[in-house]
Amino acid sequence: MPVAAASPAATASGSPLCASRPEILKQLSIRFKEAPVALGLDKNGSVVEVLTSDDGETWTILISQPNGPSCLVASGEGWEELKRVGAKGERGA
């Protein structure tokens, strides 16, 4: 079952689905066997995380506010990891 079918990134009104980070991580782990594989900080100090299932069948992007909720902003199927190649960190398959 795709992530979007059971855990949409946005509600019907277009608002992102938000909850506590531990609860979102727990549900994504239980329902889709997803776990964090990458993260970074945006310019506002929010943590942006990519979660995927081991086989890459499903993926989710989660943004956690510094002092607030975590929100699902995107989800889908068919995640593929790209390997870094070259001295300048260029990416390729």
pLDDT at 10: 52
Along the chain (93 residues), what's the average pLDDT of each consecutive run of 10 residues? 44 76 96 97 96 96 94 95 75 59
Please report the pLDDT score of residue 4 as a whole number. 41
Q: What is the rounded distance in angstroms from the CA atom of residue 50 to the CA atom of residue 47?
A: 10
Alpha-carbon span 59 to 22, nearest angstrom: 17
**Residue range 49-60, pLDDT digits in tens:** 999 999 999 999
β-pair partners for 83: 92
Q: What is the pLDDT of residue 1?
A: 32
72 CB-side CA count, 13 A: 23
68: CB partners within 8 A, 6+ apart: none
Domain ranges in the chain are: 3-79
Determine the pLDDT at residue 87. 64
